[in-house]
Amino acid sequence: MTDIASLSKNKIVFFAVTGVLVLALIIGISMLGSGSPKKTKTNAPKELTVWVVGDESAGFSDIITGFKNRYPEYKNTEVKVTKFGNYVDYEKTLLTVLGDGNSPDIFVVNSSDGGLLESKILAIPSDIINPDDFSKNFNKVFDDLLIENKEKDSSGNDKTISGIKGVPLWYQAMGIFYNWKLVKTVPHLWSDIGQDVVNISDTTGDGGSQMTSDVPDYADLMLWLDGKYIPGASDILSLFFLQNNIPSYEKLTDADATKAMENYFSFSGKTSPATLAHIDSIMKDLNLTTVDMFVRGKIGMIIGFPSLLREIEYSIKRAGSENVLSSLNLRTSEIPQVSLDPKNAMNLGEYDYFALSKTSPNVQAGYSFLAYLSTGEAEEKYLANFPTYLPAQRLREESKMNEAISKDYTRVKYRSFMNPETALQTFRKGLRNEYDAYFSQILWNIQKSPGDMLSGAMKYIDCNKKHLLDITSLDEECKIE
């Protein structure tokens, strides 16, 4: 009886101790769970700001939707796109807010910028966008965006850090718009343009000249004028520089640069003097441009990027009943060259790229947005809203080749601006706004020699670079002379 009672007591003690241990274990596990760190979540900002130039901000709505679909952690982030009408106002405002430390998260930089905005961006590391994939997928003209920096590793050895400056969605290249009623075939060489001009002799007996029936009343091509009369005059001149082996404003004092300018001005001699004077007087009296004269049938060809089509459409509206350019006769062709050697074929490329500001407080969100912009999906959405741009990624180049830029002008083709056999290169202007301002104003001044114009350009740009980049020589006045 005693043994049985003792055994029952032992069992009671055993179960009691076991129960306490189990209870303690449960409480311990519960406490451990409540004290463990929670899963880290993306700190999505309330707002991500993006600044663009020239494009309608409404056209980015599809891109913003696509970005949030791909990165749902930013579904509640407002992506706010601000548009500026021109690069001058944009750059001035951007530099001001950058100086105040209150810049947008993402802004665009032009390919010809010489460091004014480029120095304000944060490069995209290779774990966000792989530079090798970028180089493989994007047009070769964007190789300028690839960067490599040397740094020291933990052992003090040199290592290479790769990345890219930013993400482009488009580019532009030069081509010829021509009136097929006046010009049946665009020559392959600049030197062949205007070869059919009839020299007018003195037929009046008083030293004057007289229009004859065999002299055309239009000019094949009008250059040599400034930006007031020729849209994109400074870019056309940049094309001439590139085709004469001048890649940057820093080489403007080279002999080849003078040769390029002489070629630019030579077209004034490829139109009969009477015809030239007649067209020139109409333009100046009525404040018209070469595009206005083109749609009126007074100029056979004009040079420009694909986006010049918009200006042609505006000119057609301005001309009203004076317009003689039909959709059938408006056509495009590849840009002429200085040589028939295909190895020397060169065209001017130009683009903006999206970059992250060094002062952005939303770096991770900014990188995610740029990563989305680098996808084919984002580019497709963008080009659907901005059809006069050329595709940045190689995947879409072939499909675009035979397409018309506009359904209203079926003979205005993308292929005229994107021949893969022609090397595409950007021209480094040093400072875009200052370069454009100088040449847009100075080209009318026939009293200056090409050499004087070119040395003046370098002086003007370098003066502004001291002010804007180096913050030196602030007492020196930068003048266009």
Q: What is the arithmetic mean of pLDDT over 316-331? A: 96
- Does 1 have pLDDT greater than 70? no
Judged by phi (left if over 0) then psi (alpha if -120 to 50, else beta), residue 8 lies in alpha
Q: Are residues 414 and 393 in the same domain?
A: no
Residues 160-191 as b or e (16 or more Cβ within 10 Å = b)? eeebbbbbbbbbbbbbbbbbbebbeebbeebe
With 80 as the cut, is the pLDDT of residue 105 above it?
yes
At which of 400, 429, 462 does a domain end? 400
Instruction: Give CA–CA dist 251/245, Å, rounded.
Output: 9
DSSP state of 73: G
Ranking 266-280, 393-407, 410-424, 451-465 by mean pLDDT, the lowest is: 266-280
208 inside domain: no
Task: Give the model's confidence band at 217: pLDDT under 50 very low, under 70 low, under 90 confident, else very high.
Answer: confident
At residue 2, does pLDDT exceed 60?
Answer: no
Residue finishing a domain among 341, 366, 400? 400
Same domain for 318 and 456, yes or no, is yes
pLDDT score, position 42: 61
Q: How many angstroms separate the CA atoms of 142 and 171, rounded?
A: 9
Residue 24 forms part of a structural domain: no
Kindly report which listed range (39-48, 98-107, 400-409) carries the lowest average pLDDT score.
39-48
Write out pLDDT tens, residues 259-288.
Answer: 999 999 888 778 888 888 899 899 999 999
What is the arithmetic mean of pLDDT over 65-82? 97
Do 375 and 334 fall within a single domain? no
Verify that 156 and 184 share a domain, yes or no.
no
Q: How much is the pLDDT for 418?
A: 94
Residue 94 CA to residue 119 CA, distance in Å, equals 13
d(CA 295, CA 358): 46
Among 400, 417, 436, the domain boundary falls at 400
Range of lowest pLDDT (51-55, 148-152, 162-166, 440-444):
148-152
Judge if 70 and 125 occupy the same domain. Answer: yes
Alpha-helical regions (H) of 195-333: 233-243, 255-265, 273-286, 290-295, 308-319
**Total residue count of the chain as it appears in this document:** 481
pLDDT at residue 202 above 50?
A: no
Give the integer Cα–Cα distance in Å for 467 and 473.
6
First to last CA, the chain: 125
In a domain, 481, yes or no: no
Shared domain check, 425 and 297: yes
For 159, the domain range is 47-171+350-400
Residue 17, domain member (yes or no): no
Give the pLDDT confidence of 401-416 residue by residue, as tens digits. 989 999 999 999 999 9
Q: Tell me how many domains the chain contains.
A: 2
The C-alpha angle 33, 39, 45, rounded to 5 degrees, equals 145
Residues 103 and 163 both lie in one domain: yes
- Mean pLDDT of all residues in 385-408: 93
Report the pLDDT value the prediction gives residue 151, as an integer from 0 to 100. Answer: 67
81 and 220 in a single domain? The answer is: no
pLDDT at 59 over 80: yes
Structural domain contains residue 480: no
Q: Which residue has the tokens 């694909």?
A: 306
Indicate the pTM of the whole model: 0.85
Pair (361, 448) in one structural domain? no
pLDDT value for 203: 41
Percent of the chain clearing pLDDT 90 (strictly above): 68
Average pLDDT score, the chain: 87
Do residue 159 and residue 223 come from a single domain?
no
- What is the per-residue pLDDT for 448? 85
Q: Are residues 181 and 51 in the same domain?
A: no
Q: Helix/strand/coil (H, E, C) string of 25-65?
A: HHHHHHHHHHHCCCCCCCCCCCEEEEEEECCCHHHHHHHHH
Domain of 96, CATH number, reads 3.40.190.10
Average pLDDT over residues 44-55: 94
Read off the pLDDT of residues 331-383 as tens digits, 9 standing for 90 and up.
999 999 999 999 999 999 999 999 999 999 999 999 999 999 999 999 999 99
Could you tell me if 254 and 278 are in contact, meaning their C-beta atoms sit under 8 angstroms apart?
no
| 254 and 299 both lie in a single domain | yes
Q: Are 86 and 139 in contact (CB under 8 A)?
A: no
> What's the whole-number mean pLDDT along residues 222-230?
87
